[in-house]
Amino acid sequence: MNIKTVGIVGCGLMGAGIAQTVAESGCTTIVRELTPELVEKGLGRIRVLSTKVLREQALSARRDQVWRVSKARLTLAGWRTVTWLSEAIVEVRDAS
């Protein structure tokens, strides 16, 4: 299977790490979160992770590639091109 577009549901610590790694490999990476604030926070994590990893490797061009291929959505609309999907959402137990 030729994976070109990866969708990641959840962009917390784990989801952002998955997104950064996948985007670094050159795949278009789409993350989904519930609110605009969580989208921004998740994209910020991806930027921080890619800057740390790629600065150490002195590869700023690859960092820019990660930022270009990382996209975020509040819905699953437009995910028809996703060829691989990862779930990285918080599991909340019912308190009752």
In this structure, what CATH number is given to the domain that contains residue 44?
3.40.50.720
Provide the number of structural domains found in the chain. 1
Any domain includes 37: yes
Beta bridge partners of 86: 8
Any domain includes 20: yes
Tell me the residue range of the domain where 28 lies: 5-87
Over the chain, what is the mean pLDDT? 78
63-77 pLDDT tens trace:
666 666 566 677 777
Any domain includes 46: yes
Any domain includes 83: yes
Six token digits for residue 18: 């998955």
Any domain includes 94: no
Cα angle for residues 87, 12, 34 (degrees, 5° grid): 75
Which ranges in the chain belong to alpha helices (H)? Answer: 13-24, 36-56, 60-69
Any domain includes 67: yes
Instruction: Express as a percent the part of the chain with pLDDT over 70.
Output: 72
Q: Is 21 exposed, middle or buried (0-12, 13-18, 19+ CB in 10 A)?
A: middle
